[in-house]
Structure 1
């Protein structure tokens, strides 16, 4: 384990505790408010594809947002693990129940459904900073996915989705870590390209 990995591991433990406390205290209310914040900050059009996620453990629940996106005519996709440290695939899911367990037991639409490219990628977080550096679970899936999607030359908005208490002043990061464009919490949307991370 490198020094960077060790620093991330320590921070991951602390931030998971923060996230769990926030989810237990007012998770449902924050999820509804974060959905409103996202819709106010991100321009959408019918037919766009937005990749969300099915909430695991204490992650901020995106289901209120995904329901609202469907009502706006947006195609809602969920991620599917293809292989370790490989880019995720994304398939449409219009149900309000969990998809069946996929690889590693993560709920995911079945493999027989066609894979689609998202225009907007909603990224679950353990932690983040105002510059868009993110801390995930350590599997490398979202870094690989962001690198692949950004490499195809098509527009992509990568938006982190988290409780505000998951923000830190500065997150340890390396050259291979992909940054977010935006982070949405119950307090608003942080533009990670603006100096100091301006809230919009």
Structure 2
């Protein structure tokens, strides 16, 4: 049985390879934006490392009138908050070192949260970086739709989930949107 630590390491390497061999994947994924579940306010993220870049998706969603926001880590062991954001607006690093909207930006509650990941399975399992930020946030916003944003090649057969792990409702990849049961 592979440990979560080993799985994270191998999936980071795989995601890096996927990013290198398919630099247009994020653009193709953004082309499927209309297939996402409804939601007036959509949380995206600013890609770090080899995470699938959400910039093209942000532009596509903004153009069809969806309000956008980005997560902000205010406290390391708490749920993230979300601040309104429009593509092109300035960002600063939050408490976790991730680009986030400035403190003057309005705090909002998203209906739909797109989350980066290292791996996902067909049952809605999500393997994140291990900090627990998204699981804590998902738990604090149980009515929000949870959607992974990833390369199709990040799918694994089955992830071993722990009680605190929150399942995704679907995943958006360069191949399109897929809802989970």
TM-score of Structure 1 vs Structure 2, range by shorter chain? over 0.9
Q: Is the 8 A contact 1:7 1:172 kept in 2?
A: no
SS of equivalent residue, structure 1 residue 165: helix
Name the structure 2 match of 1:62: 54
**1:51 is aligned to 2:43:** yes
- Paired residue total: 181
Unaligned runs of 5+ in 2: none
- The root-mean-square deviation of aligned C-alpha atoms, in Å, is 1.6
Name the structure 1 match of 2:151: 163
2:17 to 21, 25, 37: 21
TM-score, normalised via structure 1 length: 0.85
Deviation of the 1:177 alpha carbon? 0.5
The separation in 2 between residues aligned to 1:12 and 1:144, in whole angstroms, is 19
2:36 to 37, 42, 57: 42
The separation in 1 between residues aligned to 2:50 and 2:133, in whole angstroms, is 19
Q: Is the 8 A contact 2:33 2:60 kept in 1?
A: no
The separation in 1 between residues aligned to 2:61 and 2:147, in whole angstroms, is 15
TM-score, normalised via structure 2 length: 0.94
Deviations 1:48-76 (A, max 9, x none): 11000001000001110100111111111
The separation in 1 between residues aligned to 2:94 and 2:9, in whole angstroms, is 26
Structure with bigger strand share is 2
Unaligned runs of 5+ in 1: 194-200
**1:88 is aligned to 2:80:** yes
